[in-house]
Amino acid sequence: MSRALQPQLGRRIALRGALLGGGLALVTGPAACSTGTSGAQPDRPSGAARSSTAGDTTPSKPRDGTGTSPPGPAPGDEGRARVLLAYFSRAGENYHYGDRVDLAVGNTEVLAGIISARLSQLGVKHDVHRLDAADPYPDDYDATVARNVREQDADARPALANPVESIDGYDVVLVGSPIWNVRPPMLMHTFTEAHDFTGKDVHPFVTFAVSGLGATEREYTRACPGANIGEGLAVQGETVHADGPTAAADWLGRMRLPGQRT
């Protein structure tokens, strides 16, 4: 499978991305890797801290005292968040228009922060939970591609360092990840299979290089039986800072979210 990329780096030679061996191959480009996103350090997303409730003035306290559980809404709490934004993202060496880039903050984490900020603007109280792998993925791109292929081939369920304790109190789950080999990483199954999504609205969002949503909506339809799988959002990782805010605002604008200001 091979798809041409339209590079926007102003290079004289065309860069092409190819899905090879479970990832995107570096097929041309300068000998040296890029060392940043045009010098612009990606913003640490405001709402994308691990296990935080956006809009709260007091820090949320994990209920099990470990510091790893999300602040699940207590039953009967009128002001509780009914929207959960759960995402996985990997910083480190990544694909960038056929080249490589070292991301201080993963693209999906940037998008999660943009979505969280927009939710806050809309008055939608929400919890944000960054899913981390118990065995962190390597910084190295090729090593991550290889590990992902092994995990896909084995239909693995990589353990989470910080599982979401419960999604019972949430009506809407926004679930985000990068696209890895044309689908979400296997660790997203670890998350979905731990919970009952019956009756919940699930909206996937992804960042990608060439594949768009890929098999994402189909995967979540299978993985979250009984859920209403809503429209997904796909933003190209390379353009997430520029395109993310409008894409996220448009996407959220087509939803009716609990607590949303009219």
Helix and strand counts by DSSP (H, E) for the chain: 5, 12
Nearest to 170 by CA among 129, 133, 131, 132: 129
- Which residues of the shown chain bind ligand FMN in the complex (CB under 6 A)? 19, 23-24, 89-90, 94-95, 103, 106-109, 141, 144-145, 148, 178-182, 207-211, 237
- Backbone dihedral angles phi then psi of residue 208, each to the nearest 5 degrees: -150, 175
Q: Which pair of tokens denotes residue 109?
A: 């984490």
Q: Which is nearer to ligand FMN, 24 or 119 (CB)?
A: 24
What is the residue whose two structure tokens read 């353990």? 159
β-strands 99-103, 92-96: how paired?
A: antiparallel
- Judged by phi (left if over 0) then psi (alpha if -120 to 50, else beta), residue 118 lies in alpha
Residue 113's Cβ-count burial label (10 Å; 0-12, 13-18, 19+) is buried
Q: Which is nearer to ligand FMN, 190 or 257 (CB)?
A: 190
Length of the chain: 262
Q: How far is the CB of 241 from ligand FMN (least distance, A)?
A: 12
Q: How far is the CB of 210 from ligand FMN (least distance, A)?
A: 4
Residue number, nearest CB to ligand FMN: 237
How many other C-beta atoms can be found within 10 angstroms of the C-beta atom of residue 34?
Answer: 17
Helix (H, G, I), strand (E, B) or coil at 51: coil
Q: How far is the CB of 27 from ligand FMN (least distance, A)?
A: 14
Q: Which is nearer to ligand FMN, 73 or 94 (CB)?
A: 94
Q: How far is the CB of 181 from ligand FMN (least distance, A)?
A: 5
Q: Which is nearer to ligand FMN, 101 or 224 (CB)?
A: 101
Q: Which is nearer to ligand FMN, 106 or 158 (CB)?
A: 106
- For residues 246, 90, 126, 169, the Cα torsion angle rounded to the nearest 10 degrees is 130
DSSP secondary structure letter of residue 151: H
Q: Which is nearer to ligand FMN, 24 or 175 (CB)?
A: 24
Q: Which is nearer to ligand FMN, 190 or 211 (CB)?
A: 211
Helix (H, G, I), strand (E, B) or coil at 85: strand
Q: How far is the CB of 20 from ligand FMN (least distance, A)?
A: 10
Q: How far is the CB of 124 from ligand FMN (least distance, A)?
A: 22
Q: How far is the CB of 183 from ligand FMN (least distance, A)?
A: 8
